[in-house]
A and B are shown apart, each in its own frame.
Chain A
């Protein structure tokens, strides 16, 4: 550098200084945005903890094991047992249905479908990922619920012995956790599909061709080259889906007929989820009731934090996966 042509060294010096200033400004700006994001996260935790602490000190019941939710009564009693159960169960049902199906659809688009179908269909799935949850809710309540009553009584009849699928009163409208789980599965399907499809597409062609050249059938090729490559992608896609299922508010609030009953009979109406409970109780809540809802919101926040963090660590362990540049 120093040994280069001596012509116009001053101009170069100035340009260098300018670039340094520009670099500094730009770098600090972008770093500042990153820090701002961290601050927002910390603030979410901080403020929710603050309001929750206010609520929890006055709670007369046990926050973790109480079923009731009457924070605005003279003797405030509220607990999250029912909500935690409902949230986890409905999200679990959703994941059990959605993840295999989504992987199937993603494979269909990336490896199985005739090209002429694959492209438009991929498009359609992407579009459906954007359908707002309130519309899923509306559709769930006015279309899906009536259509699921047949399936519900079927499950009750044939799988009733499992206890889980036993309906206490046969023929009740299926506004239950099971329906919520199915609706959530439909809702998170496009997201999981879209992300896993992108990952499957990035599988190096060489891997696939090598497998095929060794005489593998298409399924063996997928098992040995596509799925291992795509596993971190599938996990992070499922994580996205699980996060949505856990925190889904309005669709659950529309479909579920909630109550403060904790029951393993998944086909019985009742139960509730964190988010649904907040949405439903918020409008009538007094200031103290709002604080109680914030306490439950904090729990939801912590759960999603743990889920996402854990999934993140699983993905990070496989360092060779570096997204698009792989």
Chain B
């Protein structure tokens, strides 16, 4: 018995095999990548494939196969799987970067020639659509007003709903609200547009106006604000609330003075991101605001223009090179606006709220 316990199992580690298994050198993935890209390009050239997209796809497939095979030979199956996963992740990254970067770069390239002082300060009033000139001033005004009105409606409601869900919500009502907020985030923008159309324009008899567009935008914005605010409020540590209660502070004051200020960075970020999202909505605006070539400063009366709709009209209705150019110009302005909002929002998030948790 004692002999059995003291004797070393002979199959524990075969003699001569090193403690660390064989490994591919550190430069192996890079090498395989370079090799498969070269091979992919070679195949593309020989096969006469004119689209660079196919070259890329072939290279990616080669990269995956070669890195798996190589690792399986040298390092064993588990390591090979690991390498394969790593390769897949890198390929996914590169696959995604290309179109996304191309979108940004292409928009900037096309738009930079068009955007200048004139473009920003003139409307399309009296501009021949088959000729150059014209601008987006009227669209800028419209977008700012419509989005501003929508935010004024949606942000408070969304914020209060989130407070309800996190701080008060128990029972069926809260469950129903949570559920339908989630469902509401999925409501297509065009459906929101149709709804406002049937309610505001058909049932109540109002005319096309910027405000009716912002009603639809508010519907789209509300659930986004609720969701992001809810997440932020959940991040506020319970200890803070408990400390406040322990000092005898009533609940509503705790929420207003402790919970919301703690989360304000995240909440602002969420609201701004929601604003950025609705700024680019085209479909509901197209139905409800109608579009105009002239400047209309009053969002409550008469058709307005908005940036996304302007792009659509220049592309689909005008549909010539001058229209495309104007569309790209407006697209650049719109993208700059939305990205600017995003950057500011994220700046606020970083500045206001020190990293919670971990």
Say yes or no for B11: interface residue by CB 8 A criterion: no
A139 touches B106 (CB 8 A): yes
Cβ 8 A contact of A38, one of B84, B89, B176:
B176
Q: Which residues of B contact A205 (CB under 8 A)?
A: 358
Q: Which of B183, B276, B282 contacts A312 (CB 8 A)?
A: B183
Q: Is the CB of A220 within 8 A of B82?
A: yes
Chain B: interface secondary structure?
helix
Q: Assuming A132-B282, A135-B334, is B311 touching A150 (CB within 8 A)?
A: no
A292 to B199, CA, bound (A): 16
Query: Pick the contact of B179 from A141, A218, A312 — CB < 8 Å?
Result: A312
What mask results when residues 21 to 33 of chain A are scored 1 for a CB within 8 Å of chain B, else 0? 0110111011111
Identify which of A76-84, A100-108, A261-269 touches chain B.
A100-108
| Bound: A283/B80 CA distance, A | 57
Query: Which residues of B from 15 to 40 have beta carbons under 8 Å from A?
Result: none
A189 sits at the interface (CB 8 A):
yes
Number of interface residues of A (CB under 8 A): 106
A149 to chain B: closest residue by CB? B51
Question: What distance in Å separates the Cβ of B227 from its nearest Cβ neighbour in chain A?
Answer: 10
Chain A CB within 8 A of B1 CB: no
A147 near B53: Cβ-Cβ < 8 Å: yes
Q: Are B195 and A240 in contact (CB-based, < 8 A)? A: no
CA distance A154 to B231 in the complex (A): 46
- Asked if A151 and B54 make an inter-chain contact with CB atoms under 8 angstroms apart, the answer reads yes
For the complex, give the distance between the alpha carbons of A309 and B181 in Å: 11
A89 interfacial by beta-carbon distance below 8 Å = no
Segment with Cβ contacts to A, from B90-98, B122-130, B293-301 = B90-98
Q: Give bound CA distance, A47 to B308, whole Å.
A: 26
In the complex, which residues of chain A have a beta carbon less than 8 angstroms from the beta carbon of B256? 26
Interface residues of A in 192-244 (CB under 8 A from B): 193, 205, 217-220, 222, 236, 239-240, 242-244
Interchain CB contact under 8 A, A132 and B186: no
Contact, CB under 8 Å: B252 / A254: no
Q: Mark B128-167, 1 if CB is under 8 A from A, else 0.
A: 0000000000000000000000000000111011011101
Neighbouring B residues of A121 by C-beta, 8 Å: 93, 97
Q: Are B161 and A37 in contact (CB under 8 A)?
A: yes
Q: Which residues of A contact B276 (CB under 8 A)?
A: 130
Instruction: Say yes or no: A41-B194 contact (C-beta < 8 A), given A139-B107, A151-B53.
Output: no
Residues of chain B contacted by A305 (CB below 8 angstroms): 183, 186
Cβ of A163 under 8 Å from chain B: no
**B273 contacts which chain A residues (CB < 8 A)?**
130
Which of B84, B107, B186, B255 has a CB less than 8 Å from the CB of A240?
A: B186
Whether the Cβ atoms of A308 and B53 lie closer than 8 Å is no
Chain B residues with CB under 8 Å of A307's CB are 186
Contacting residues, chain B, for A125 (C-beta < 8 A): 96, 100
Q: Chain A: residues with CB nearer than 8 A to chain B?
A: 18-20, 22-23, 25-27, 29-38, 40-41, 43-44, 47-48, 50-51, 100-105, 107-108, 112-113, 121, 123-128, 130-139, 141-144, 147-151, 154, 186, 189-190, 193, 205, 217-220, 222, 236, 239-240, 242-244, 246-250, 253-254, 274-275, 278-279, 282, 290, 293-294, 297, 300-301, 304-305, 307-309, 312, 323-325
Known A249-B188, A254-B315, A305-B183; further 15 A-B contacts with Cβ < 8 A: A20-B250, A22-B252, A37-B223, A113-B93, A128-B104, A130-B280, A133-B281, A134-B334, A138-B331, A151-B57, A186-B103, A243-B185, A279-B283, A297-B190, A304-B186
Q: List 7 A-B contacts (CB under 8 A).
A: A33-B164, A41-B180, A48-B195, A130-B341, A154-B49, A246-B188, A254-B316
